[in-house]
Amino acid sequence: MRGRVRGWLALGAGLGALAMTTAAVAQPAGAPVGTSAPESELAGVAIHRVQRGDTLELLAAEYYGDRRHKIYIMVENRLDHARDLKPGERLRIPVSTEVTAGVGDTLPNLAAQYLGDERRAKYLAEFNGLDPDGTVAAGMSITVPLRVTYRAARRESLGAIAAGLFADSRKAQLLKDYNFLRRDSLNKGEAIVVPIYLRVHPSKRRPPDPASMALLARRTESMASARRALPEARKAWERGDYGRVRSLLAAQVSSFPYLDTDLVVEIGVLLGGAYVAFDDPDTARTHFQQVRERAPELALSAFEYSPKVCDVWRKAGGRVNESPPP
């Protein structure tokens, strides 16, 4: 979940010299039109009322753990230089956000909602250490990076922009791909979105709303229940006690949307195999199809499962690996 995206580096202190503005998601001119979310869903800001003694450096340390990151606060509030803060004034603090996946959520629809375009699903996946082609379990916490928008003050190459933002011109390809650009430069006034990973201090994170809390609780309970049931179910499978396998695992099926894919795969295959043993191929096929929805590339080994199990698996659309294990 907490994986780092190679190349999504924090902007350096020299960013203040760049012509930048903050925005939700601005589509660069000439870029393909994508699925965009409303600005209110993409803002990713916390509102801070300045207290006596507050400075940009102290707020950056408070929110981000590093005084040097004051530049994000300056950019968000369109401050072209560091200045004293006035007690009572309101500042917009750009923040990364934690969202809770619901039943039926996918990486593309989460990317569309929070990153402005479903095609950014692969970046959301990489950012969170997830399989880009995998599924998202309900109740899973997904981190959405804070974003700023770089607006070109003149015609600029992506390489020069990347050198200014990341101190690495090679990150031009990241900027190009993330923003779906067909060329290697921006004209004056064109903008690109720059995602930045910063872990906001826990005390500054927004608490989950009641619906998210319920999803998180259901996922926690479901994961714990599955992990309790599986060890005994494995032993029952090994000794051929398929009735026990069925009684242990059947109750876990309703929790599939909340379980990690590896748990869904193991439970579904064992449970489907148990129904094959009880000469109920239709129910077995249903469970195998549930497995394939979560792991479509999974292949069963003909050396680990009986011909009957493999036959029903094939009828569910799955592949069987006929090669002996290494």
Task: State the pLDDT at residue 13.
Answer: 35
Q: What 3-state class would DSSP assign to 139?
A: coil
* pLDDT bucket at 21, cuts 50 / 70 / 90: very low
Whether residue 18 is predicted with pLDDT greater than 70 in this model: the reply is no
pLDDT, average across residues 143-154: 83
Clarify whether residues 129 and 268 are in a common domain.
Answer: no
Are 219 and 91 part of one and the same domain?
Answer: no
Structure confidence at residue 1 (pLDDT): 38
Is the pLDDT at 277 greater than 70? The verdict is: yes
DSSP 45-96: EEEEE--TT--HHHHHHHHHS-GGGHHHHHHHTT-SS--PPPTT-EEEEE--
Q: What is the mean pLDDT of the chain?
A: 84
DSSP states of 142-163: EEE-EEEEEE-SS-EEHHHHHH
- % of the chain residues with pLDDT over 70: 86
Q: Residue 35: which domain range?
A: 13-204
Domain count, the chain: 2
Q: Is the pTM above the cut of 0.95? A: no
CA distance linking residue 144 with residue 199, whole number of Å = 10
Q: pLDDT class for 25, splitting at 50, 70, 90?
A: very low
Contact indicator for 76, 149 with CB cutoff of 8 Å: no
* 3 located within any domain: no
Residue 2 lies in a domain: no
DSSP-derived pairing of the beta strands 146-151 and 141-144: unpaired
Boundary of a domain, candidates 169, 204, 239? 204
Asked if residue 314 and residue 176 are part of one domain, the reply reads: no
Closest C-alpha among 292, 211, 213, 227 to residue 259: 227
- pLDDT for res 245: 97
Least confident of 92-96, 172-176, 280-284, 294-298: 92-96
pLDDT digits (tens, 9 = 90+) for 177-227: 999 999 999 999 998 887 777 778 888 888 888 999 999 999 999 999 999
pLDDT per residue as tens digits for the range 50-92: 999 999 999 999 998 989 888 778 877 878 788 999 999 999 8
Residues 158 and 279 in one domain: no
The answer as to whether 326 is a domain residue is no
